[in-house]
Chains A and B, each alone.
Chain A
């Protein structure tokens, strides 16, 4: 080979290599367009913008629930470099085993990629966050992320507000792709019912990221971005001060207080005791705290106000008085004698005989057994069943025997049986008024939730109608748009029959069984109840409204196993009404102090029992 040939060999090699490379370039750049797609997915990142959750205020605009920053510790596993595991675990206050098991758990998670950020530890504390922030450089690959969680300004109204938590797989499936793993959602209370309003709408931002996942700019100047829509603020109908007083008065008692504004159906206070501090169900410890509350044998998570049916006891006599008149078996002048009771139903000593107003005032059992008997044996109806069905419909029209439709989850229907129930129990035509006589005095096959009691009082206060009780007054400063919360539900009772009954209720407070509930300067109408219950001591019950003219508040109080209605329930209701109507509850200090010192829980019973030993 001569030198010219050698030169040519080299040149041929150069050009061959060049041609091979150009062919390769042609394939990569012109033929195969998948690289364009890869390049896009490399740099384009879809980021979710979380909207601020709506705030919750009370009826007077006082802030109850707000958002608080929390810090999650995230990690991009691939970016971990020279990690001092010992120091890391020390800062986070975890053991090496926990560190290892956390990583093992993350790796098993669906969609795990060592190049994607993943939450290593949720909701680290502020001191941990601070300590971590200082040593960020030492822990490459780890970084804190800010989210918001709920914070409650007061420790009240836990049952009303409910709480939020991370979405479950079921929520994600139901949401048609809206919710993603780790998102927050309302789990109970107003947070759950009004999730759509409070939650807002998530936005999307397309950003360009570099290889380290660091944001480098907006994609097409944000052309394809959608902004997040902040959650709507909500005003509860709850009066924070009243609610707080209710919870204070109910401390160490089991039971409920429900207060309603009769004209609007707005719930002013909803106390289920025992309650819990809503701030417990926030943050990393939510799960443990929840289990603790769940195991508590007094069931603080159980919302008694809307779920627990109680025998109404004597407060039912108010309804009886109205129904008797409507069914034409009773007039204000009707008198019955009472000799310490009627048949198998006992009564306490009082003047006898009495007309309707007096019978209400002293709560005569015999009187209302007679009324019940004449109602069921009403000759107007062919059969007992028909008469009972009329009774059923009348009671039903007061909002009993079915859920009222309050904007909270878990509302119970109470107990109200149809005639067919007794047919089954005793056989058709084999039962009559005397068989079910105790219903005349609010015992037997009757169960009413505290909410239904308060609602019935409101119906009496309104002289014939109620508006479905509700918790949310305004959304985004506009009235609750649910038309149900604007509609009058008329009872079966003519307005004209209410006067004499309300007279009787006023007598109850002024010189009857609930003298203790009297508020100087305000006409209070109420009725006590002492409901027998097979499981223990009688329930102390009281319902009332005030003032008599143009009523502002209707209230029902149930204190479980506390004895006479006048002993506990009536004073509590009285203090509540005074607070709401006058803004103070300290005019009768002795009652207030007796109430807050009253300890009726079995927990402390056993405590004192061991002490006395």
Chain B
């Protein structure tokens, strides 16, 4: 390892690092607040959530530091092996995992539970970056490349779905933005959105009515525009595919999804009002956030979090603590900082000269964004309750560690961007 390959401190993106530590420390305070008891105030206890979390922060910092000291070529070279290892781990979990709350996605490691699905995220990101940055690879044109890169993403999704971890599975759909950046036609992204809207409609209205509506719309469309054979064909295909989609979504909803997932979605869509049942989490979460008011109740003063009205408050519903104790002001500040981080990472990704670095950077941005949208959206009652953590905030060792590794690899790659000129990789 030559000296020039080590990152100079000035090359490290300090803003990203600063935001990372702001989030981690704020997250720790929120975890502390969620277990704090007035009757029994504790300063330090490694058996409590916040104690464990502090240990995890230490571990994460150490590993992050190690990542910063590793030769950047390491990640390119070992992208596939890391991917393979995470896939093997995922498969292992299927057979030797510990079941926690209905999902068998955990491995016990000396008192700490680790969730390989978390690590599959950066494994997949590395593999995808490596694959797409390969010599002579043209994602835009080459069908084979498109299929293979989709396969890289879909493989871990399938295994994680088998572990009953719907939330983590969905995270991988974030890669669609990465593919979009690398040449996926915009209409697919757009079609994806349309499909999502159609899917929601399918759950709200009987599929038959949607299909009738689609046919009417298509007829109207064809009536209004200049009809060409090509356009008619396209319209017909769209209608047929949509009709098929709608019916299959209905089928999946009724026959594949589990009862609790169905109710969660129904509650979100307003089809079921059940404040004490499935809607309880969301209702309590909204109460906690709503009661925070403009300025919040103050550190350790949030009664809803403290007295455990919000389920999973230190993990998936950690945003409630922010909302209740720091109010609207604190919540807006949080959102601002989070978007600032995403914006910063986006900028960093774009300034990379190496395709590998850029694709990896985009993966990081998209994964973090997806977590943010789903997690915060769910506490606000805007998204279905999908159990995925808020990066850097939520209590949970493997989540924090995997997000740290995910982020620090990118910081490490970014710190070397000047050396790229001398690089022979591209």
Contact = CB atoms under 8 A, between A and B. Distances in A.
A40 B290 CA distance: 12
A87 interface: no
Contact of A29 (B38, B289, B350, B372): B289
B292 interface: yes
Interface string A203-228: 00000111110001100000000000
B309 interface: yes
Nearest to A213: B307
Interface residues of B, number: 47
A29 B304 contact: no
A30 interface: yes
A39 B350 contact: no
A598 B217 CA distance: 105
Contacts of B336: 18
A525 B332 CA distance: 97
B376 A11 contact: no
Interface stretch (A1-9, A283-291, A584-592): A1-9
Interface of A: 1, 3, 6-7, 9-11, 14-15, 17-18, 20-22, 24-26, 28-30, 32-36, 38-40, 42-43, 78, 114-115, 208-212, 216-217
A216 B287 contact: no
Most-contacted residue by chain B among A14, A29, A42 (CB, 10 A)? A29
Nearest to B294: A30
Most-contacted residue by chain B among A17, A34, A39, A42 (CB, 10 A)? A39
Nearest to B186: A1
B363 to A, nearest CB: 12
B27 to A, nearest CB: 18
Interface in B270-320: 276, 284, 286-294, 303-304, 306-309, 311
B290 A21 contact: no
Contacts of B287: 35, 38-39, 42
Contact of B382 (A6, A20, A42, A115): A20
B303 A43 contact: yes
B133 interface: no
B309 A42 contact: yes
B327 interface: yes
Interface of B: 37-39, 177, 180-181, 186, 276, 284, 286-294, 303-304, 306-309, 311, 323, 327-328, 331-332, 335-336, 338-339, 342-343, 346, 350, 365, 369, 372-373, 376-377, 380-382
A18 B382 contact: no
Contacts of B38: 216-217
B197 to A, nearest CB: 15
A25 B307 contact: no
30 contacts: A3-B181, A3-B350, A7-B181, A7-B350, A9-B186, A11-B343, A17-B372, A18-B338, A20-B382, A21-B380, A22-B335, A25-B328, A28-B380, A29-B328, A29-B331, A30-B293, A35-B289, A35-B291, A36-B290, A38-B287, A38-B291, A42-B303, A43-B304, A43-B309, A78-B276, A115-B276, A210-B309, A211-B308, A216-B38, A216-B306
Contacts of A43: 303-304, 307, 309
A21 B379 CA distance: 10
A34 to B, nearest CB: 8
A39 B288 contact: yes
Contacts of B331: 22, 25, 29
Contacts of A7: 181, 346, 350
Instruction: Decide if the interface of chain B is mainly helix, strand, loop or mixed.
Output: helix
Given A208-B303, A211-B307, A217-B38, 9 more contacts: A3-B181, A7-B350, A18-B338, A21-B376, A21-B382, A22-B332, A35-B291, A40-B291, A42-B304
B307 A21 contact: no
B309 A217 contact: no
A114 B292 CA distance: 28
A32 B380 CA distance: 13
Given A25-B289, A25-B380, A28-B289, A14 B307 contact: no
Contact of B177 (A1, A10, A115): A10
Contact of B290 (A35, A115, A212, A216): A35
A18 B177 contact: no
A26 B328 contact: yes
A39 B304 contact: yes
B328 A30 contact: yes
Instruction: Decide if the interface of chain A is mainly helix, strand, loop or mixed.
Output: helix
A36 B307 contact: no
B13 to A, nearest CB: 17
Contacts, number: 120
Contacts of A42: 284, 287, 303-304, 307, 309
B307 A210 contact: yes
A249 B144 CA distance: 111
A25 B309 contact: no
A9 B288 CA distance: 33
Most-contacted residue by chain B among A10, A34, A42, A212 (CB, 10 A)? A10
Given A18-B339, A38-B291, A216 B39 contact: yes
Given A25-B332, A42-B309, A15 B339 contact: yes
B309 A211 contact: yes
Nearest to B310: A211
Contacts of A216: 37-39, 306-307
A6 B289 CA distance: 34
Nearest to A32: B290
Contacts of A11: 343, 346
Contact of B180 (A6, A35, A212): A6
B420 to A, nearest CB: 17
Contacts of A115: 276
Contacts of B373: 17
B286 A28 contact: yes
Contacts of A20: 382
Nearest to A219: B303
A216 B40 CA distance: 10
Nearest to A38: B287
A17 B289 CA distance: 18
A212 B343 CA distance: 42
A389 to B, nearest CB: 75
Contacts of B307: 42-43, 208-211, 216
Nearest to B307: A210
B286 A35 contact: yes
Which 6 A-B residue pairs are closest in the complex by CB-CB distance? A35-B290, A210-B307, A39-B291, A28-B290, A29-B328, A211-B309
A208 B302 CA distance: 12
B39 A217 contact: yes
B188 to A, nearest CB: 12
Contacts of A21: 335, 376-377, 380, 382
A22 B339 CA distance: 12
Nearest to A24: B380
B422 to A, nearest CB: 24
A29 B327 contact: yes
A114 B328 CA distance: 34
Nearest to B328: A29
Nearest to B309: A211
B290 A39 contact: yes
A491 to B, nearest CB: 69
A30 B330 CA distance: 13
A316 B327 CA distance: 88
Most-contacted residue by chain B among A17, A28, A210, A211 (CB, 10 A)? A28
Nearest to B382: A24
A3 B177 CA distance: 12
Contacts of B39: 216-217
Contacts of A3: 181, 350
A77 B369 CA distance: 41
Nearest to B332: A22
Given A10-B346, A210-B309, A216-B306, A29 B323 contact: yes
A70 B124 CA distance: 64
A581 to B, nearest CB: 62
B87 to A, nearest CB: 28
A69 B332 CA distance: 55
B372 to A, nearest CB: 8
Contacts of A10: 177, 181, 346, 365
